[in-house]
Chains A and B, each alone.
Chain A
Amino acid sequence: DTAVSQTPKYLVTQMGNDKSIKCEQNLGHDTMYWYKQDSKKFLKIMFSYNNKELIINETVPNRFSPKSPDKAHLNLHINSLELGDSAVYFCASSLRQYNEKLFFGSGTQLSVL
């Protein structure tokens, strides 16, 4: 069983569209994250939720909205997609907050045309 799974793996869309990426973890972890990896492989935290509560919200455009219906799921919705949103988005989880052993999903390659 995949520990952290995110869908879709690839997402190609037009500028201005709205899209969502889903993430689920079956590890029983309390904390989940969204990271963005740009074309130069730079990895930056976007959001973190602990037991469904938002604990990290970095400087991210408000077009990006995370939603955590339960602690096993953290979805990312993006409105009005822009060219600069093209990147690989990684979901991750950890046993608890401040536990740095992160388990990553395999990523969603988003291409905005």
Chain B
Amino acid sequence: AQSVAQPEDQVNVAEGNPLTVKCTYSVSGNPYLFWYVQYPNRGLQFLLKYITGDNLVKGSYGFEAEFNKSQTSFHLKKPSALVSDSALYFCAVRETGANNLFFGTGTRLTVIP
């Protein structure tokens, strides 16, 4: 069975500092991993995905994520946080053969001016 964990409900970071939002996963076989962002009163927006290939994946708005197979992690990163990055971030996973994405519980990122 597939599952994904986001260990931090809330992450606070100062504007201009690097940010990391953590995600670990559990699947049978190879994982397909994703990050989505949800701004207030909006639906989720796709940020990036890892299917295969380079472990470092670049996505929208300057975000990137690193796939680490040995640690079963897919942490979201950005070198310099903006106040406008403040939102709810969801990690998601799909295992081979499954029909749907399984979302984590979300991490609220607050970037402090």
Contacts and interface: CB of A to CB of B under 8 A. Distances in A.
Interface residues of B, number: 21
A98 B100 CA distance: 7
Interface of B: 32, 34, 36, 41-46, 49, 88, 90, 92, 94, 99-103, 105-106
Given A100-B92, A101-B46, A105-B43, A56 B105 contact: no
Contacts, number: 54
A12 B44 CA distance: 23
User: Interface on chain B toward A: helix, strand, loop, or mixed SS?
Assistant: strand
A43 B101 CA distance: 10
Interface of A: 4, 33, 40-45, 48, 55-56, 90, 92, 97-98, 100-107
Contacts of B45: 104
Nearest to A4: B43
Contacts of B106: 41-43
B43 A90 contact: yes
Nearest to B105: A42
Given A45-B100, A98-B99, A106-B41, 7 more contacts: A42-B103, A45-B101, A92-B44, A97-B99, A103-B43, A105-B43, A107-B42
